[in-house]
Copies of this chain bind each other. A is one copy, B any other.
Amino acid sequence: MNRIITISREFGSGGREVGKRLADALHCAYYDSEIEASIAQNMDLDESYIARSVENGILANIPLHFGRTIASTRLYKQQVDILVEKRKVLCQIAAASDCVIVGRAADVILAEQNPLKLFVYASMEHKLARCQRYEETSAASPKALEKEIRQVDARRARYHGMFSPIKWGDRANYHLCINTTGLEIKQLIPHLAGYAQAWFAMNGR
């Protein structure tokens, strides 16, 4: 069985950076938006459209005024197809090689592969400071940014809830919960990589 690491993360906590650097340190594949690109290609749909479905849940692409029309039924079906395709892509990825997967409820979808499940989080102050360093979020006011952070996390929790009754962010669901507040992620990686290797060795891989 391959060594799979899943990373769940609060928005702005640096979970993606943890994943990317950990994959580099362990010389294994890294998957984030590549998952939507693959689904988009397989289904001949737009990648950003898939991303909205994958991260925001089944209703994200369906306008509120749609009602019970034939068009809405088709759209619902398409959303379910996207979820089915996503599960398929995640399973293909996990079967192909050792890898790190960020988000996408991979922790519960790939439960049978017994992945090492990490949760990355930080204080709101730290998350705000981190978001302000990135172009796409730096223009927002701290108040608007804080609202966005809470909204993104609420969407992630809701999405996770579609696949499992296990609560997103509940430490019981993870093997290691990492608070990045005030830390430089780069400095943590050798120790996290070592921890991951020890964990896999103790789990027969």
Contacts and interface: CB of A to CB of B under 8 A. Distances in A.
Interface of A: 119, 121, 123, 169, 171-172, 174-179, 181-184, 187-188, 190-192, 194-195, 198-199, 201-203
Contacts of A121: 171-172
13 contacts: A121-B171, A123-B172, A175-B179, A176-B177, A176-B179, A183-B199, A183-B202, A188-B195, A190-B194, A191-B192, A191-B194, A191-B195, A192-B195
Contacts of A171: 119, 121, 169, 171, 177, 179
A177 B177 CA distance: 5
A202 B187 CA distance: 9
Contacts of A194: 190-191, 194
Given A172-B121, A176-B177, A179-B176, A187 B201 contact: yes
Contacts of A195: 188, 191-192, 195
